[in-house]
Structure 1
Amino acid sequence: GAMLQGVPDMNRTPGIDMSTGSLGQGLSAGNGMALGARLDHADWRTYVICGDGEIEEGIIWEAAMTSAHFKLDNLTLIIDHNKLQLSGASEEVMNIMPIADKFRDFHWHTITINGHNFDEIRAALKESEETKGMPTAIIAETIKGKGVDFMENKAAWHNKTLDAAETKKALEELEGES
């Protein structure tokens, strides 16, 4: 269906204001949105989602410095730390560990969670909303393709979409997940 896609597309998925991805521009755009909210005295928050491979980009770290400099406490960055990217294991392509320590050093409030646990996700989002004076990075430890045997921990599924037969098989496997 229209919702199945490789990179999330703002033209096909409600709630996405900007399609970014591997070039790392999302956090810079998020900074602009968070600063705009501050200038407008608006109470909305900006959420940026990126992958662990994406934070290998230098623009992410320039943006992270900017977020902290302007104390963007209305900005939350969620990092999908599944340890795989298009060309293989993130640590082998460009080791970005330890992620939490790096963001702390950049003056971010940092939370590490199990990215498959909805209680931990909700608690981290609440904590980020309550954190004042600095942006928040949530490092969501995840497993790429979790719950689907032919996808789990396979880098090849980084930006592929499922065909009809694969979709049927994946949904059958996921029906047992809670």
Structure 2
Amino acid sequence: MESDSDHALIEKKQKKTETQIDHPRDWHQLVRCTGKKHPFKVVEMDQSKFFNYAKLLKTELQVKKKDETGNLFYWRDIREIMIDKNNLGVMYFKTGINESYRCLSFRKRGSLAKLIPELQYKGLVPITAKKKDNLMKLLPYISDVFWDFYTNLPTNQADDIHPDLESSDEDE
């Protein structure tokens, strides 16, 4: 996959760099400097740009197995996606480079509701207490300028599971 070679470039750059990486912004800068011919564009995202689309799928939208022309739809076959902000709840996609766009509506039949997703996170995303304990053990190896960042990370008592992987109903 293309992303595998991108990650390999980043890892190679990180091994060759003299700069110490103590903070997430250090990673942003390293990635920006990776790739001689085609440098990576890093977009720093804050929580105002993460939305809860899963909640819309439980209320106003639904996952469909057929596109607008009645053809079976498989996520794994998609090569290109286009979303039109003026036609929310509808996705245009291609399964081949030279194809024309096909249409898939996620709206429930007859639904004209406004599709406004809620913010995904209301505050900082907590990490597990175990993960924070491990980070605290590494503080002596990190510049003390960044200690406040790590000591002030919020924690919860949940198991060490990625929040976006709670449940997945992806098709075959």
Structure number with greater Rg is 2
**Bigger relative contact order, structure 1 or 2, given CA contacts below 8 A and separation 6+?**
1
Structure with higher strand content: 1
**TM-score normalised by length of structure 2:** 0.21
Scaled by the length of structure 1, the TM-score of the pair is 0.21
